[in-house]
Structure 1
Amino acid sequence: MPTYPPEPWHLAGQMYLSLWPVPRRALPPLPPGVRPLTLAGRALMGAAWVLYENDSVLRYNEVLSAVLVRDGLRPRVTITDIWVDSPPSMAGGRELWGIPKELAAFDVSRDKGFDASARTGSTALCTASFRPLTSLPGRWPVAYRVTQLLDGHLKTSPVRSRSTVGLARATWQIPPGSPLRLPADRPPLLSLTLHDFTLSFGSPAPTPSARTV
């Protein structure tokens, strides 16, 4: 089994994100006990390409889909499908947090914006193109929690990030037979670029308490 860093993972790079409103009945299966956060019967589903580079503890590419869920009234994110091109990332994601990572091959170009495709074996997963529209001033902090099923129990992990945010126009294509469950038959509600992000995923190991003699 490939070795991987302990949590938290400190990562940096580029993210290309699209969001869709999805009828609750059309969502992928969620872990037991996890409920989508809905408004008028619709949940929010996202998909992202992520390039972990620069000072990341691991360097790799990733494509994923996720659903906005809730723990009581507290919002959470659950990752439903995800592929990476790093065996250590796949092993760490599965064993540390219950993230269902699989392996894929990626083809990425940033010549005229962002164009990418991913394939697992002989099966094409998806392609996408992002074209920048405008950038927002400053660097934006974001904090949220990811909830996954790990060893039969829900595990919730903190995520903290900061990045330059831009609006983009994006197109996604999911070929027939792709295991990526995404409503890409219609344009995204919103697409964003998160450039030069820094991100911390997970919690440090608890410090052993001192023994009283």
Structure 2
Amino acid sequence: MGYPPEPWSLRGRMYVSVWALPVAALPPIPPELASTVRVARIGGRALVGAAWVDYRPGGDLSYRELLAAVLMRQGWRSRVTITHIWVDSPASRDGGRALWGIPKDLAEIELTDTRAAASVGAEATIRGARPWLRLPIGFTCTQELGGRAKTTPVRATARCGPARLRWHLEPDGPLGFLHGRKPLLTLVADDFRMRFGAAPPSP
């Protein structure tokens, strides 16, 4: 096995933008999740997040990532389903797929303090990141794994604050459903300390 067992302890920096999209514009959600989660609708729209992540040395793995995810719900509980995700680490790709059903693919990714780019038709310029307040962050990820819903807890703390990203997405690329749309907000989560997944139960 070329990847760490769960949970993964990760550190780094993340930029995330959030859009409100018509439900009809959403990327496909795996049908295996239909009995477990549904798209969370707010005024007839759905929330989609896209993030650039730099997982830095000091955690279990060090790599870069671009992802898009949809806000879902299980009853009244919020969930997140990742629909698109690319990493530049085979270990992260293989572990994400095997452990949690996260559909990771490989891509060339560049991520600096001022620019982000991925070889899947996605770029962004980064300005005005102002992390200032360390906050707890928690969410639950629900993915399809082996034909069933797999629910995974994610817990972190980070120095959070506003940021400005100008996204450049190819209209015929995999994130083309966000092309030309303006995000509602963009945040930076700096110096995050993340625990992704849960330890298996004792035998």
TM over 0.5: yes
Aligned mates of 1:181, 1:35 — CA distance in 2: 23
User: Could you tell me which residue of structure 2 aligns to residue 36 of structure 1?
Assistant: 39
1:107 has 2:110 as partner: yes
Deviation at 1:69, TM superposition (A): 0.2
Give the match for residue 187 of structure 1.
182
Aligned-residue offset at 1:31: 2.3
Partners of 1:180 and 1:85 lie apart in 2 by 18
CA distance in 2, matches of 1:143, 1:38: 20
Paired residue for 1:211?
A: none
Distance 1:152 1:51, change over 3 A: same
Partner of 1:59: 62
Residue 124 of structure 2 aligns to which amino acid in structure 1?
A
Task: Indicate conservation of the 8 Å contact 2:171/2:179, yes or no.
Answer: no
Q: Give the Å deviation of 1:130.
A: 1.9
Change (3 A) 1:181 1:74: farther
Q: Alignment partner of 1:166: what SS?
A: strand
Aligned to 2:93: 90
Q: Is the 8 A contact 1:28 1:181 kept in 2?
A: no
Would you say the 8 A contact 1:146–1:156 is kept in 2? yes
Which stretch of the first structure deviates more once superposed, 2-11 or 155-164? 2-11
Contact 2:170–2:179 (CA under 8 A) maintained in structure 1 = no
Calculate the aligned-residue CA RMSD, in Å.
1.3
Asked whether the equivalents of residues 96 and 103 of structure 2 are also in contact (C-alpha less than 8 Å), the reply is yes
Larger mean Cα displacement after TM superposition, 40-49 or 180-189: 180-189
More displaced, 186-195 or 29-38? 29-38
Superimposed CA distance per residue, residues 98-139 of structure 1 (whole angstroms, 9 cap, x where no aligned partner) = 0000000012232xxx311101xxxx42001221254443x1
Shift of 1:81: 0.1
Q: TM-score, normalised by structure 1?
A: 0.89
Change in CA separation of 1:128 and 1:189 when aligned onto 2, cut-off 3 Å: same
The whole-number CA distance in structure 2 between the counterparts of 1:174 and 1:116 is: 12
Residue correspondence of structure 1 range 1-213 to structure 2 within 5 A: 3-32=2-31, 33=34, 34-110=37-113, 114-119=114-119, 124-132=120-128, 134-137=130-133, 139-208=134-203
Q: Which has the larger radius of gyration?
A: 1
**Which segments of structure 1 move beyond 4 Å, counting only runs of 4 or more?**
none
Percent of aligned positions that are identical: 49
The number of equivalent residue pairs is 199
Could you say if the C-alpha distance between residues 83 and 77 of structure 1 is closer, same or farther in structure 2, counting changes exceeding 3 Å? same
Query: 1:205: how far off?
Result: 1.1
Runs of 5+ unmatched residues, structure 2: none
C-alpha displacement of 1:182: 4.1
In structure 1, list runs of 5 or more residues that go unmatched.
Answer: 209-213
Distance 2:200 2:116 in 1: 36
Mean Cα deviation higher: 42-51 or 171-180: 171-180
SS in structure 1 of the partner of residue 5 of structure 2:
coil
